[in-house]
Structure 1
Amino acid sequence: IDVIVVRQPDGSFQCSPFHVRFGKLGVLRSREKVVDIEINGEPVDLHMKLGDNGEAFFVEQNENMEVPAYLCTSPIPQEAPEKVEETPEGLLGTGSGARRKKRRRKRVRSDPHLRE
């Protein structure tokens, strides 16, 4: 991807917002994956980490204070799974997390012998 970076008057850099997400094949054992970054084709000492859903994010160390485990990464928010019950008609759930099964419609056949 292309990201625009601009040097600020104080000498720091600021870039345009971006996000990176990899497909399911790229995230097998995602906890072991590190994304290497190149700037203008040159590798730099900057890396991203892959989350469980394939999202890549930066992780910064902070020596001044302890960060709780749930804040150490920036995962994509997901709805918590709710109680879901399987029925012949599909799925029934107590919350918005339940999905209905798609039902196939029966194809109506027109019999050429009955058209007369």
Structure 2
Amino acid sequence: MRLDKRITALGLTRAQAKRLIARGEVRVNGEVERDAGRIVTEADEVRAQGTAAAAAGHTHLMLFKPAGVLTATRDGRETTVLDLIPAPPRGLGPVGRLDKDVTGLILLT
């Protein structure tokens, strides 16, 4: 994963992360890093202004979808599977789909 993307785990935008990196306020394994495109692994310790930026793991959820709920990430009129999850992680979406009137287990990742 790119260093600037990893820093967004702290709630910053990619542009804000790039500014911190350019100012020398980001350390990788204790060393100042100024390359926003540097590839970091989960094993690398990344700190921005002294705060650790944890490696983002993968999120996998199983959800029992009730009838009447859309297997979609958003819809202006209907309830979706993401509406059933309090504070869903960014980028979470269903794998496959179940029709609106069907109940069943669905995987989200």
Range into which the TM-score falls when normalised by the shorter chain: under 0.3
If asked which structure has higher relative contact order (CA below 8 Å, sep 6+), I would say: 2
Structure in which a larger fraction of residues adopt helix: 2
TM-score (norm 1): 0.25
Structure in which a larger fraction of residues adopt strand: 1
Which protein has the larger Cα radius of gyration, Structure 1 or Structure 2? 1
